[in-house]
Amino acid sequence: MIVRRPAGLRPAWLAAALAVVLAATIMGLAFGSVPLPPGGVAVEMFNLVPGVRLDSGLSDREVDILTQLRLPRVVLGLIVGAMLALAGAAYQGAFRNSLADPHLLGVASGAGLGVTAVIVLQAGDGMTELPIGVPMAAFAGAVGAVALTWLLGAAGGRDRSPATLILAGVAVSAFLSAVQTFLLQRHVESLREVYSWLLGRLSTAGWHDVQLVLPYALVTGLIVLSQRRELDVLTVGDAEAASLGLHPQRSRYVLIIAASLGTAAAVSVSGLIGFVGIIVPHTLRLLAGPGNRALLPLSVLFGAAFLALTDLLARTAGGDAEIPIGVVTAVLGAPFFILVLRTSRVAPE
């Protein structure tokens, strides 16, 4: 069997992705309840480089708004969007299923349950920011969900097809959501805080959340991007991949764990933001081709830009009242998901 080598990342696509990320960043920093001139914002960003001092024309108050309020939020949105899109692309490649996203295998529900447990336990202590252990609690919940899904998918035999795992993930998600609801019923004093978190939000009062999630994002990115060639081999099927010298199940394990880590870290600081892992990779697959050597790095960049722009829409579309970003992504993603559902089939094992 001759396997055609997928195309790599073209310089034109990389330049376009970087330009979109830059534009999304400037727009996210410039627009809001207090509009700032985009040119002044761009110049002020250069002043963050050590040894550079340029006149941006911004007042001290505007500089404080830019650097202390908007910049941490925009950076957090870039990181979360990159992780969710990368995880979605990794799941879709590992399971050869274009409907897969970070909610596959119950990962988001497991991570949400872990974060909910931490919020409930910390609520009586006057918690003002996320504890440092929240991403690890989310990761523990995510990995636990993967393990439950894996065991449930094996109930009918040793073979675990992608379709079986997806159905098992739906069942595990429902079960974990029920446990989360029961936990909230027992601790109604935390209901408002958890509910606000569940709707998805990127509000931050500083760099704490960015510092919290960044190490996990770097680990996830390095691992998943290092597996992009293996993902291309997996697209031909497990039998053919094994004949080419790849260990399909081992590669799939690595990708699932790494993508689950990134999803858990993103969920821990942003709540449940859906559809990013479907919209971005699927659109890029149609435009730039299915090769993962290009798809994965482009998903990182365009996913970052997508969530930064979505957060800008959530901050400005509702006037004085901010719309939860999870609501905005759901409004954008639900029709897209229906379109993908009508035009996609789960690939056979």
**Structural domain harbouring 176:** 11-343
Please name which of 16, 11, 80 lies closest in space to residue 221, comparing C-alpha atoms. 80
CA–CA distance, 327 with 330 (Å, rounded to integer): 5
Residue 2 within a domain: no
Structure tokens at 195: 């509910």
Q: Is residue 349 part of a domain?
A: no
- Rounded average pLDDT over 262-280: 89
Residues above pLDDT 90, as percent of the chain: 33
How many residues can be counted in the chain?
A: 349
Mark out the alpha helices in 127-247 (DSSP H runs).
134-153, 162-186, 191-198, 208-226, 228-234, 238-243
Report if residue 348 sits inside a domain: no
- The predicted structure's pLDDT at residue 349: 42
Is 6 inside any structural domain? no
In a domain, 117, yes or no: yes
Classify residue 237 as left (phi > 0), alpha (psi -120 to 50) or beta.
Answer: left
Task: Kindly report, residue by residue over 142-182, the tens digit of the pLDDT.
Answer: 888 888 887 887 765 555 566 677 788 888 989 998 998 88
pTM value > 0.85: yes
- Domain of residue 217, CATH code: 1.10.3470.10
Q: How many CA atoms lie within 13 A of 224 on its CB side?
A: 36
Q: What is the total count of domains within the chain?
A: 1
User: Mapped to the 3 state alphabet, what secondary structure does 273-315 carry?
Assistant: CCCHHHHHHHHHHHHHCCCHHHHHHHHHHHHHHHHHHHHHHHH
- Tell me what the mean pLDDT of segment 292-307 comes to: 95
**Per-residue confidence (pLDDT) for residue 72, from 0 to 100:** 94
Give per-residue pLDDT as tens, 194-224.
Answer: 777 777 888 776 788 899 899 999 999 999 9
- Cα 346 from Cα 349, distance rounded (Å): 9
Count the alpha carbons within 13 Å of 290 in the hemisphere toward its beta carbon: 14
pLDDT at position 105, please? 75
Report the distance separating Cα 141 and Cα 339, nearest Å: 31
| Number of other residues whose CB lies within 10 A of the CB of residue 130 | 20
- Angle separating helix axes 107-122 and 134-153, nearest 10 degrees: 140
Query: Do 277 and 88 form a contact (C-beta atoms < 8 A)?
Result: yes
**CB-CB contact of 44 with 56 (8 Å):** yes
What pLDDT band is residue 128 in, cutting at 50, 70 and 90?
A: low
Residue 4's pLDDT is: 53
- By the 10 Å C-beta count (0-12 exposed, 13-18 middle, 19+ buried), 54 is classed as exposed
- Band (84; pLDDT cuts 50, 70, 90): very high
- Count of CB atoms within 10 A of residue 259's CB? 32
Give the integer Cα–Cα distance in Å for 270 and 221.
18
37, 325 contact by CB (below 8 A): no
Q: Residue 128 in 3-state DSSP?
A: coil
